[in-house]
A and B are shown apart, each in its own frame.
Chain A
Amino acid sequence: MSGIDVDLAVNGLITGLFYALMAVGLSLIFGILRIVNFAHGEFYMVGAYAYTLIALGLGVPAWIALPLAFVTGAALGWLTERTLMRPLYAGYTSWGLMRDEYAVIVTFGLSLFLINLVDKVVGPYAFRGPALVETSRVVLGPVLISGHRLLAAGIAIAVIAITAMLIKWSFWGQQIRAVSQNRLGASLAGIDTAKASVIVFMLSGGLAAFAGALLSPVINASPDVGIFPAIKSYIIVVLGGMGSVPGAIVASLLLGVIESFGAVYLSYQYRDAFGLILLMLFLLFRPQGLFGEKGREV
């Protein structure tokens, strides 16, 4: 394995880490509500903007702006869940059986709303947030990486690990998993399913915003910057098996590496298309993803 390959692999894995931050939240939402949040990319975008505006606009140190971006995302997630997600489980007569369609339309609309709102309020120009550290190059063997990216990767690992542990071992983590497996049963067992939904949305929003914040020194944050990360998240959630957090993490890393190698060895132009093609293929032929279980027939 040549030096370039190691570099590609490491960079791919790091990109995968950031993907994982976004995909885990989406996976949780799917587990709890059985919907895909089409506005997910906009939480990422809001996080990038929040981080940059707080750090540059208010003169707050980057280290503090980062968690504040998480909080912003979580708050937006809370608001979204409270105002828009209720009909999905509170027995809403008008959309009735068409809850899937409702979820698609309402989150799609929310996505458009947020993109255009930020476009008008903040402006369409791209800008970048402050890096966490100014070291531009760190050398790790054959791998050349920027200091910020390395640090961000470390933070991402920590956050993902904490999240995974919370889901697995904390009280609410177990509640959430119970609701994911069987909503009716969980509520009969006394679990507050509404609260679980709220927590999941807040967590999802916070994580996506955090990812946006971490990456804002690297990406050029513009109002529609969240569209591609969102699509990547959808790909990952399907690949990893809808609702599976470990699956999402593994699929994220996989996608990062595939894209990294694909961009160099196959086509740089179409590097974003690999994931899309994978998504289509999986949805058509293996919707349960790499790790999910095949659903039963009627």
Chain B
Amino acid sequence: MAQSSSTSPAVQPSGAQLTTTRTTVEFRAALIAMAVVALIPLGVSNPYWLGVLVVSMYFAILAGSWNLLAGYTGQFSLAPATFAMIGAYTTGLLNHYFGTPPLLGIVAAIVVAGLIGLLLGRAVMRLVGPYLALTTLSFAEIMRLVTANSIDITRGDLGLSVAGLMDSRVGWYYLFLGALVLLLLMFYLLLRSKAGLFLQAIRDDEVAARRAGVNVVFWKTAAFAISAAACGFAGALYAHFAELVTPELGLIGQTGLIVSMTVIGGMGTLAGPLVAAFLVYVMSEWLRDVGGYQLVVFAALVVIFARFFREGLWGLAKAAVQRGRQA
């Protein structure tokens, strides 16, 4: 399969699955999936199901962002839902108390979430594995507790009511889809560049990356900030969609869903978490009527995939395609 090109200097080594090549393949697959999603409203007009898909897109953004941080850079943060909550409350508080227009609020949410992500990322720079997970878990719980208990400001669990952006559900559908595709494109461009090489190198062996000259501090912090900003963006969008902001957005269970989607989809792949977000969320809503075992099933899938299928659904799909080619 690999052809040697050692006799003439080739600009594009043939046969090799360079990370840039792999990322492009994944990006194209993800675009196809997004195209399918774009066509759905032509056939489905039930607002409930459109709403389910909108929430799926919310999770797809979160899963994709967490994947950047954990799947590509190896930083296992348990705070993605927290940043969504931070983004939601940023725009929510601005809108509720100052009448800030939603679009401005969303921009503010991205900035605030990104900044807090930057600070947190810088703080946890030296932590690995379980230590990082525990620290971000504490951060997540503290933030949620503070948000829920600051009833004077946030109205706690009652929630903060927030202006909407539009009435049309289909309009929201395409807005979220647009946001998702935009982020997908951003991540693609980022991962295709040298950043993609550096992040994965950091994930594989931080010391070796430093030895090779990679500015590990910068890139780890950048991944944290970008991931947090994207999560904040999703949270802010959701705030104006649901027209209500509650601390439930930052529950550990939400992070559990995000982690599940990413693991099942395939950590460290562009398309996997996005597609899995839809599958997991839509299935869970669908199964909800049929007895409600969906969460048990998905949690079991996470364990099984982690144990046996590290590459997730994307890996399984890849293997199937390769087997098909050889047949």
Interface residue ranges of A95-144 to B (CB < 8 Å) = 95, 97-98, 100-106, 108-113, 115-117, 119-120
Evaluate whether A112 and B123 lie within 8 angstroms (CB atoms) in the complex, with A97-B205, A238-B134 already known. Answer: no
> With an 8 A cutoff between CB atoms, is A209 at the interface?
no
Stretch of B18-26, B91-99, B137-145 lying at the A interface: B137-145
Q: Which residues of A contact B299 (CB under 8 A)?
A: 109-110, 112-113, 115-117
Interface size, B (range): 35 or more
B279 lies within 8 A of chain A by Cβ:
no
Q: Nearest residue in A to B263 (C-beta to C-beta)?
A: A105
Report the Cα distance A74→B206, complex, angstroms.
Answer: 37
Quick one: given A101-B74, A120-B293, A272-B145, are A36 and B133 in contact (CB under 8 Å)?
yes
Inter-chain contact A113/B252, CB cutoff 8 Å: no
- The distance in angstroms between the C-alpha atoms of A70 and B293, with both chains bound, is 28
Report if A102-B306 is in contact (Cβ < 8 Å); known contacts: A109-B260, A269-B149: yes
Of the listed stretches B105-113, B124-132, B183-191, B217-225, name the one at the interface; the rest are far from the partner chain: B124-132
Complex alpha-carbon distance, A115 and B24, angstroms: 39
Contact assessment for B124 and A273 in the assembled complex, using a CB-CB cutoff below 8 Å: no
Chain A residues with Cβ below 8 Å from B78 are 108
Closest residue on chain A to residue B264 by CB atoms: A109
Chain A 6-46 interface mask (CB, 8 Å, partner B; 1/0): 00000000000000000000000000000110100000000
A104–B76 contact, CB under 8 A?
yes
In the complex, are the beta carbons of B149 and A270 less than 8 A apart? Answer: yes
Instruction: For the complex formed, measure the closest distance between the CB of B154 and the CB atoms of chain A, giving whole angstroms.
Output: 13
Main secondary structure on chain A at its contact with chain B? helix
List, in ascending order, chain A residues with CB within 8 A of B205's CB.
Answer: 97
Interface centre among B134, B137, B293, B296 (most CB of A within 10 A): B134
Of the candidates A95, A113, A120, A227, which one forms a contact with B310 in the assembled complex, judged by CB atoms under 8 Å apart? A95
In the assembled complex, A277 has its CB within 8 A of some CB on chain B? yes
Closest chain B residue to A30, Cβ basis: B130
Give the distance in Å from the alpha carbon of A279 to the alpha carbon of B134 in the complex.
8
Nearest CB on B from A201, distance (A)? 16
Of the candidate stretches A56-64, A175-183, A280-288, the one touching chain B is A280-288
Bound-complex Cα distance A100 to B253 (A): 21
Q: Which residues of B contact A210 (CB under 8 A)?
A: none
| Cβ contacts under 8 Å, A36 to chain B | 130, 133-134
The answer, yes or no, to whether B303 is at the interface (CB within 8 Å) is yes
Complex formed: what's the CA distance from A48 to B180 in Å? 43
Contact B296 A87 (CB under 8 A): no
Question: Per-residue 0/1 for B223-265: is the Cβ within 8 Å of any A Cβ (1 yes, 0 no)?
Answer: 0000000000000000000000000000011001001100100
Closest chain A residue, CB of each to CB of B292: A120
Report the separation of the CA atoms of residues A276 and B134 in the bound assembly, to the nearest whole angstrom.
10
Chain B residues 61 to 110 lying within 8 A of chain A, measured CB to CB, are 70, 74, 76, 78
Contact A231 B129 (CB under 8 A): no
Query: Which residue of chain A is the closest to B301 with respect to CB atoms?
Result: A109
Bound-complex Cα distance A101 to B131 (A) = 11
Task: Let me know if A49 is at the binding interface, CB within 8 A.
Answer: no
Selected contact of B259 from candidates A84, A105, A117, A269, CB within 8 Å: A105
From residue 155 to 197 of chain A, which have CB atoms closer than 8 A to chain B?
Answer: none
B130 near A112 with CB under 8 A, answer: no
Give the residue name and chain of the B residue nearest to A37 (CB).
B130
Question: Contacts of A105 on B, CB cut-off 8 Å?
Answer: 259, 263, 302, 306
Q: What is the chain A residue whose CB lies nearest that of B142?
A: A276
For B129, the chain A residues whose CB sits under 8 A away are 35, 100-101, 103-104
The yes or no answer to A298 lying at the interface (CB within 8 A) is yes
In the complex, are the beta carbons of B259 and A276 less than 8 A apart?
Answer: no
Residue of B nearest to A80 (CB): B303
Contact B307 A84 (CB under 8 A): yes
CB distance from B319 to the nearest CB of A (A): 13
Given A283-B135, A284-B123, 5 additional A-B pairs, CB 8 A = A103-B130, A108-B259, A109-B299, A109-B306, A113-B302
What 9 pairs across the A-B complex have the smallest Cβ distances? A100-B129, A109-B302, A113-B299, A112-B299, A36-B130, A116-B295, A109-B303, A94-B310, A276-B138
Name A's B-contacting residues (CB within 8 A).
Answer: 35-36, 38, 83-84, 87, 94-95, 97-98, 100-106, 108-113, 115-117, 119-120, 227, 231, 234, 238, 269-270, 272-273, 276-277, 279-280, 283-284, 287, 298
Please, could you name 25 A-B residue pairs with CB atoms under 8 Å apart, sorted by A?
A: A84-B303, A100-B76, A100-B130, A101-B129, A102-B306, A103-B130, A104-B133, A105-B302, A109-B263, A109-B299, A109-B300, A109-B303, A110-B303, A111-B256, A112-B256, A113-B300, A227-B252, A270-B149, A276-B138, A276-B141, A276-B142, A277-B138, A277-B142, A279-B135, A283-B127
